[in-house]
Amino acid sequence: MSDLANIKARYLGKKSVLVEQYARMKDITPQDKPAFGNSLNQSKTALEQLFSDKETELKHKSWSQNKDAVSDLTLPGVIPAQGSLHPLTIVLREIEDVFMSMGFEVAEGFDIEDEYHNFDALNTPSDHPSRNLADTFYLKDGNLLRTQTSTVQVRVMENYPPPIKIISPGRCYRNDKADASHSPVFHQVEALVVDEEISLGDLKDTLQIFAERMFGSKVKTRIRPHFFPFTEPSAEMDMSCVMCGGSGCKVCKQSGWLELGGAGMVDPNVFDMLKIDSEKYSGFAFGLGIDRIAMMKFDIPDLRILFENDLRFLKQFR
Ligand code: 2NL
């Protein structure tokens, strides 16, 4: 350390080359003065930086080589690399908070399922195209990777009597080629409410409150007729475009609306299969894409970015 102090004195001290050069200022012609002064100042700053870096380095070195010594508490600390939450985790927690605020409980199940819980119990005919090898990943033992989290809701209905009010978030799998809006692995949250006198109005209210708490009080929602084997009637759910507020823009392809997912009233055949009295009980269900919601919330242009774990992307979400 004293060696370093001596060297520093030679370059930056009272009798240093640098001070000598500063003394020459008075002999420099007025037009050369600014350039000369600037280059001296730059040299001085650079030298000071070099010495201060070296001082820090040597202090750290002497401390780490001498573990018994009391650490120098005046040293600048080493800042540890900080982790961050994945945007899907952030959005999922928000979704769970919104549904819990409406009295829903969160139910989880298995990624590997059987055909009964993924298709049969959901009134999906044995020749339905979604059962095809081209659409669903089957394992050698005949099980499959769930294509939707309805499987969890089927298991809840098997094991608990109504009233039921749950959401089931989780990973789903479909044999799709990855592109900007498709991925063989994706995330879904389904909602299920079963009780006496549950109506389509309850579905619409739940959808509207969810959208408002998630995207702000100005958002509008609507449902359009559709078809699913497990709901009757079935619908697709839209919300007014978060970018333009409904007036039409590139994001909503001038329509003013963005698709949120599918929904409907639980088909009585599903209740019958699960031994729930379909005369006494009714229910609604819907499914939302978590990845799509994250893309809308964080303005992410390509779904694949969510699965690549590129730190340059993940670091943004502090
Ligand atoms: C979509 C469509 C949907 C359901 C999921 C459901 C679950 C049970 C019974 C009846 Cl146990 N229905 N879930 C209903 C309609 C649509 O998801 O587009 N998801 C992203």
Q: What is the pLDDT along the chain (318 residues), one digit of tens a residue?
A: 578 888 888 888 888 888 888 888 888 888 988 999 899 899 989 998 998 998 888 887 776 776 666 667 788 888 888 888 999 999 999 999 999 999 999 999 999 999 999 999 999 988 888 888 889 999 999 999 999 999 999 999 999 999 999 999 999 999 999 999 899 999 999 999 999 999 999 999 999 999 999 999 999 999 999 999 999 999 999 999 988 888 999 888 999 999 999 999 999 999 999 999 999 999 999 999 999 999 999 989 999 999 999 988 998 887
pLDDT over 70 percentage in the chain: 97
Q: Is the CB of 119 under 6 A from ligand 1?
A: no
Q: Is the CB of 270 under 6 A from ligand 1?
A: yes
With beta carbons less than 8 A apart as the criterion, state whether 269 and 123 touch: yes
Alpha helices in the chain (DSSP H): 2-12, 17-23, 33-65, 87-101, 115-118, 150-159, 200-215, 268-273, 290-298, 305-308, 311-314
CA-nearest residue for atom 9, ligand 1, is 266
With beta carbons less than 8 A apart as the criterion, state whether 21 and 15 touch: no
pLDDT attached to residue 174: 96
* Alpha-carbon span 264 to 293, nearest angstrom: 20
Q: Is the CB of 264 under 6 A from ligand 1?
A: yes
| 283 phi, psi to nearest 5 deg | -165, 160
Q: Which residues pair with 190 in a beta bridge?
A: 168, 287
Which residue out of 188, 194, 223, 231 has the highest number of ligand 1 atoms within 8 Å of its CB and is therefore the one to mutate? 231
Q: Is the CB of 186 under 6 A from ligand 1?
A: no
Q: Return the amino acid letter for 136.
A: T
Q: Is the CB of 223 under 6 A from ligand 1?
A: no
With beta carbons less than 8 A apart as the criterion, state whether 109 and 168 touch: yes
* Alpha-carbon span 317 to 136, nearest angstrom: 33
Distance 150 CA to ligand 1 centre (A): 6
Angle 124-285-289 (CA atoms, 0-180°, nearest 5)?
90
Distance 255 CA to ligand 1 centre (A): 24
* Alpha-carbon span 62 to 312, nearest angstrom: 35
Angle 278-262-247 (CA atoms, 0-180°, nearest 5)?
140
Q: What is the pTM of this model?
A: 0.77
Residue with tokens 């592109």: 179
* Alpha-carbon span 235 to 316, nearest angstrom: 36
Distance 286 CA to ligand 1 centre (A): 5
